[in-house]
């Protein structure tokens, strides 16, 4: 499989000519959906979900299908059978990729801010995209797509999270609001000396072979 970072929290995973895109939101160029066979959306926040971009992609690609939670699916009303609602512990196949759903809620930002639904996706029993939560799947994770910066976590929590999952590799996502200084600082703190896991950050558009 090949992993391509498409900006902020969005990635594309490729295998045998098939393309799976996760979380193409408002901080990701709309071209991220070009050539996509399937799309997964973790939750409704604008930086993970763009209703306009997904509707346009569905119109231009009759074969494109979307898997997401009930809240996001409700905002895509009118697309019909092109959207499938999924939740925690469900499994499905998207464009030939085996996917399992883990998690239910977005991480707490503040007790006064209502929580929304957030689901994570374990792809091919290997790559885990947790969305905006530090969900621990009941399965081994080889490659963790780690949300390294957000208003709902600290770097200390992220270190403990990586240690608990103990993946082979961690790739930084959810970093669109970081400048160069912040990126370097977070990367230094989340490296293998602190977590025991190899840490990588791909520039937007860059790819890496996973296995």
Which pair of structure tokens corresponds to residue 187? Answer: 């990367």
Q: Which CATH class is domain 2-202?
A: alpha beta
Cβ count within 10 A of residue 174: 24
Q: What is the pLDDT of residues 45-102, one digit of tens each?
A: 999 999 999 999 999 999 999 999 999 999 999 898 999 999 999 999 999 999 999 9
Tokens at 62, concatenated: 């009759």
The half-sphere exposure of 161 on its side-chain side, counting CA atoms within 13 A, is 22
As a whole number, the mean pLDDT across the chain is: 96
Q: Is the pLDDT of residue 211 over 80?
A: no
Tell me the domain boundaries of the chain. Answer: 2-202
Residue 119 pLDDT class (50, 70, 90 cuts): very high
- The pLDDT, as a whole number, for residue 173 is 98
Read off the pLDDT of each residue in 99-110 and give the average, rounded to a whole number.
98
| Residue pair 28/8 in contact by the 8 Å Cβ criterion | yes
């Amino acid at each position: 499989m090949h992993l391509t970072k498409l900006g902020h929290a969005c990635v594309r995973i490729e295998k045998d000519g098939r393309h799976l895109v996760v979380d193409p939101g408002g901080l990701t160029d709309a071209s991220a959906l070009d050539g996509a066979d399937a799309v997964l959306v973790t939750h409704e926040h604008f930086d993970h979900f763009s209703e306009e971009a997904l509707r346009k992609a569905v119109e231009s690609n009759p074969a494109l299908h979307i898997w997401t939670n009930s809240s996001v699916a409700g905002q895509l009303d009118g697309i019909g059978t092109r959207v499938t609602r999924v939740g925690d512990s469900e499994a499905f196949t998207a464009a030939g990729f085996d996917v399992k759903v883990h998690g239910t809620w977005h991480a707490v930002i503040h007790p006064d801010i209502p929580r929304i639904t957030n689901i994570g996706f374990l792809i091919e029993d290997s790559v885990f995209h947790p969305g905006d939560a530090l969900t621990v799947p009941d399965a081994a994770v080889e490659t963790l797509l780690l949300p390294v910066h957000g208003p709902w976590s600290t770097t200390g929590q992220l270190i403990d999270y990586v240690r608990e999952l103990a993946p082979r590799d961690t790739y930084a996502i959810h970093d669109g609001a970081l400048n160069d200084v912040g990126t370097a600082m977070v990367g230094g703190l989340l490296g293998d000396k602190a977590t025991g896991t190899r840490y990588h950050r791909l520039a937007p558009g860059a790819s890496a072979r996973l296995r």
